[in-house]
Amino acid sequence: MEKYLDIDPHSDYVEGYNQAYVLMQEYRELADNLAKSMPQSERGIGFKDGREQYLLEKNDRMPKWLQNKADIQKDVEPEPDKDMDDYEPDR
């Protein structure tokens, strides 16, 4: 039977990892910019790893045929809403 190593990560690493993971859910651009500017410290490495983990999990949850379409949909503008004044009921 294999033995697993009990390694406790540094608390700064865990903090950076968790912060990046949460930021990626709501503020992806901010997390991307912060990851680029983070120093090579325990917290910075954890932040980058948390960001990468979120991206991996997001791609695993999305079907393969939708993965490329999600990026394309960002450029499409939604249709304007119709006003109630424009509504003409069928008679």
- What's the pLDDT tens digit per position in 63-84? 666 666 555 555 556 666 656 5
Higher pLDDT, 82 or 49: 49
Residue 15 has pLDDT above 90, yes or no: yes
The DSSP letter of residue 34 is H
At 11 the pLDDT is: 87
Are the C-beta atoms of residues 44 and 16 closer than 8 Å to each other? Answer: yes
Angle between helices 42-61 and 11-26 (to 10 degrees): 40
Give the whole-number percent of the chain exceeding pLDDT 70.
Answer: 60
Within 10 Å of residue 44's Cβ, how many Cβ atoms?
Answer: 18
pLDDT average, residue stretch 35-62: 87
Q: Residue ranges per domain, the chain?
A: 11-64
Q: How far is CA 71 from CA 56, 58, 80, in A?
A: 15, 13, 21
Q: Report how far residue 71's alpha carbon sits from residue 74's, in angstroms, rounded to the nearest whole number.
A: 6
Span 38-54, average pLDDT: 91
Does the pTM surpass 0.75? The reply is no
